[in-house]
Chains A and B, each alone.
Chain A
Amino acid sequence: MDFQLSDDQRALRSGMRDLLDAVFDRDRMRAAVERGGTLDRSLWRELGAAGFFALRLPEESGGVGLGLPEAVLLFEEAGRALLPGPLVATHLAAGLVKGAAEGEAVVTAVDGDLPVAHLAEADAVLVGADALAGEPLRAFVAAARPVRSMDPLTPLHRTGADTGVRAVSGPEGARAATERTTAHAERIRFEGALLTAAEQLGSAARTTETAVQHAGDREQFGSPIGSFQAVKHLCADMLARTEPARAAVYAAAVTGDPVEIAAAKLLADEAAVRNARDCLQIHGGMGFTWEADVHLHLKRAWLRSAARLGGAAAEELLAAGLGAARRYPGSSAASGRGAPEAGGGG
C-alpha cells in the first residue's frame, strides 16, 4: 500500500502553485476583490491552457487524462490561493459544454436553492447533469436577482423557485435514459462535493500557515504571541483539523465512494471554517479589517460549506452508511481505483 503522493503528483501540485504565484499573486487577488470578483477572462484561459478544466478528460478528447486524485491537488491549490470563479462547475462541464475544457467558457451551476455564483458572466449553467445556454440561459438570468454578496470574490444571484429550469432539463425519454441521466447527475454531484472539499482543504492549510506566521511575528508582553499556550493551542488545533481532512479528501479521491466523499466534505468544511475563525482570532483587531485576507477565506469557506453536500446532507449520508450489515458487504462498492478495499476497512 502506498497512500502517499507520487512524484508526478508532487510535481503537478508544485507546478500549480508556481502557476498561481505567477498569474494570481496577492496584488491580483486584491484587485479581484476591488472589482467585486468579476472574472479575468485571460486568467480563465490561462487556467484552461494549463489543463485545469480538461484535467480528467481522456487524452483522445483533448484532455489531460488524469483522475480525481490529481484534480483534488489542483483544487487544493486553488483554495489556498483564493482563486475566484466557478472552478468546480467549469471543470465538471469540460466535455459537456463547448469551450469549458479550454477555459473559453465560464460555466456555473445551480445548487438547490442556494445563490448562484458568477451568473451574470456565465456562458452556461449546469443544472444537475444538464447545461443551460443560449436563450434558456438568458431567460434564466433575466428571472434572477443579483444579491449584494457577502463574499467580495463571489458575485451571487438568487434565482426564483420556479425558473423554468425543469423545462429544459432534457427531453422526455425512455426510463433507461432518465436513469442514466440520474446516475450521471449523482456522479457530478459527488465529484463536485469532493472538489469543493479540496478547495476547503487548501484554504484550511493556508489559514493555518498564516496564523502561525502571525503568531511568530507579532509581539505582545515582550514575546511573540505564539509562545503563549493560549495561542499555540489554537494553532495546534488548526493542524489537527487540517490533517485528518487531508487524509479524508485524498482517500475519497482514490475510492470515489459517496460516503467517503461525504466524510471528506464534512471534515474539510469544518477545517476551513473553523481554521479561518481561529486565524482571525489570532490576528486580533487586524483580523477584523478588510485589509487582512483572512475574512476572504472565511467568507468563501462559509459559502462552500453550504454548497455541494452541506453539513446536514453529509451527516445523514454518513449515518445511513453505518451498521455492521451495511459496512462489510460493501457500502463502498464504489468506482475508482483501490476499491473495494480488502478487509472492509473503508
Chain B
Amino acid sequence: MDLAYSEAEEEFRRRLREWLAGVLPGLPPKPSPDDWPARRAYDTTWQRMLYDAGYAGLHWPVDAGGRGATPTQHLIYLEETEKAGAPYVGANFVGLLHAGPTVAAEGTAEQRARWLPPVLRGDEVWCQGFSEPDAGSDLAALRTRAVRDGDAYVISGAKIWTSHAEVADWCELLVRTDADAPKHRGITWLALPMDAPGITVRPLRTLAGSTEFAEMFLDEVRVPVRNRVGAENDGWRVTMVTLSFERGTAFVGEVVACRRTLDALADEARRNGRWDDPVLRRRLGRLNAEFRALWRLTQWNVGESERTGGVPGIGGSVFKLRYSGARQELYEAAAEVLGADAFDVEREWVLDRLSSLAYTIAAGTSQIQRNIVAERILGLPKGR
C-alpha cells in the first residue's frame, strides 16, 4: 500500500508539465459557450496540439494509434492538465472516450483505419445518439427503427441529449433492428454521418440558459451497412464493452477541479468575512474530507486497474454516486460563501451551481447507480 509514484511516472509528469507550460500561453482565448463552431475549432485545435506532442489517445491501445499508457500515467495526465488549466476534452469527448474505444474494440480493420486516426488528430468530431424521449434510464427500450434496404439501413426516430450534435461529423447511433426480440437483443450500433439527408438537429436550452445539447430527428436517413460495428442486433453488447469498463480515471480532472474550487471558496470566505461563521467553516471542512477521500478512492481504483488491467464500471458506480452528490453540495456551500452575490450569474460558481444539478441525472441517474451497486456489487435480487 503506497502512494509514491515511480521514477518513470515522475519523469512522465515532469515532461508533461514542461510541455503544458510551453504551449498553454499560446492558446487563443476561450470561445463563448454558445458559439458552437468556435467551440469545436478550439477543442479540435487543442486535440491537434496533443496529437503533435504525442499525447493524443494516451489511454488507447497502441494498435489503435494510442500510446497504451498505464492507468497511473493517465491519472497523472488528467491531474496535470486540469491543474495547468488546459482545455477540457470538450467536443472530442465522445470520439476519444466512447465511440473511438468502441470502434477500437469491436470494429474491423477498415473501420478502425477510417475512423480512429481522424479522432486522434482532431479532424473529426463524434456525438452520441443513445437516449430517446422514451428511453432514458431504460436505454434498452429505445425505439429508433432501422430497416434494411439493400446495402443500407433506413432509419427513423428521435434522439435526445445529444451533445455537440450541431458540429459533429459522426454520431454513434443505437437503433432497433429487431422489434420482436427481447429489448437488449434487437439493437444495432451504427456510425451515422451527420451530413446525411433527413437529419434535423434542434438545440435544447438547459436551465443554466446555455445550449449544451440537442434533440436529433431522423426521417428515413440512409446509412450504409458497412457503417455497422459488430453484428446486427449485437449493438447492446458492443456498446457495453466500452461503457462497462474503465480504468478508474473517469473523474480525475473533476475531482482535482473540485478541490481547487474548495480552496478558492475558503480563500473567498476568509476575504469576505464569512469564515467567521463556524457552521459554514465546518461545512467546508466536511467537504474537504469528502473530496480528499474521493481523490484517494480514485487512486485506489487506479491502483486496482493497474493490477487487473481495468476495473469493472460497476466500481465506478459507487464513485459516481458519491461524487455527484458531493459536487452538488460543493456548490450549495459556494452559494453560502457568496451570500447576496449568489443570485448573479456573472459571479464565479453561480453557473456551476446550476450545471451541477445535472450530475445526479446524466450518465445514469443516482437511482440507477444505486440499483447497479445493489444488484451487481452487493448481489441483491433484481426487482422492478
Q: A interface vs B, CB < 8 Å?
A: 1-6, 9, 69, 208, 212, 215-216, 223-224, 226-229, 232-233, 235-237, 239-240, 243-248, 250-251, 253-255, 259-260, 262-264, 266-267, 312, 314-327, 337-339, 341-343, 345-346
Contact = CB atoms under 8 A, between A and B. Distances in A.
A323 B265 CA distance: 8
Contacts of A224: 380-381
Contacts of B302: 1, 3
A232 B3 contact: no
Contacts of A262: 289
Contact of B286 (A216, A227, A318, A320): A318
B289 A233 contact: no
Contacts of A253: 1
Contacts of A318: 284-286, 288-289
5 contacts: A4-B1, A216-B380, A255-B3, A259-B288, A317-B285
A254 B318 contact: no
Nearest to B284: A319
Interface stretch (B59-67, B343-351, B365-373): B365-373
Contacts of A4: 1, 300, 303-304, 306-307
B266 interface: yes
Interface string B255-297: 0100110111111001000000010011111101110111111
A237 B369 CA distance: 10
Nearest to A209: B378
A114 to B, nearest CB: 20
A323 B130 CA distance: 41
Interface in B282-330: 282-286, 288-290, 292-297, 299-300, 302-304, 306-307, 318, 321-322
* Smallest CB-CB A-B distances: 4 pairs: A319-B285, A227-B383, A322-B266, A318-B285
Given A1-B72, A3-B303, A235-B378, A319 B281 contact: yes
B2 interface: yes
Interface centre among B270, B377, B378 (most CB of A within 10 A): B378
B4 interface: yes
Contacts, number: 205
Given A4-B300, A247-B297, A248-B289, A223 B3 contact: no
Interface in B136-156: none
A240 B318 CA distance: 5
Contacts of B262: 322
B33 interface: no
Contacts of B43: none
A212 B378 contact: yes
A44 B15 CA distance: 54
B6 interface: yes
B172 interface: no
B379 A216 contact: yes
Contacts of B318: 239-240, 243
B373 A239 contact: yes
Interface string B59-81: 00000000000001001100110
B374 A232 contact: yes
B227 to A, nearest CB: 38
A262 B286 CA distance: 10
B371 A232 contact: yes
B267 A324 contact: yes
B83 interface: yes
A263 B306 contact: no
Contact of A319 (B1, B288, B373, B384): B288
Contact of A243 (B256, B283, B297): B297
Contacts of B292: 248, 251, 259-260, 263, 346
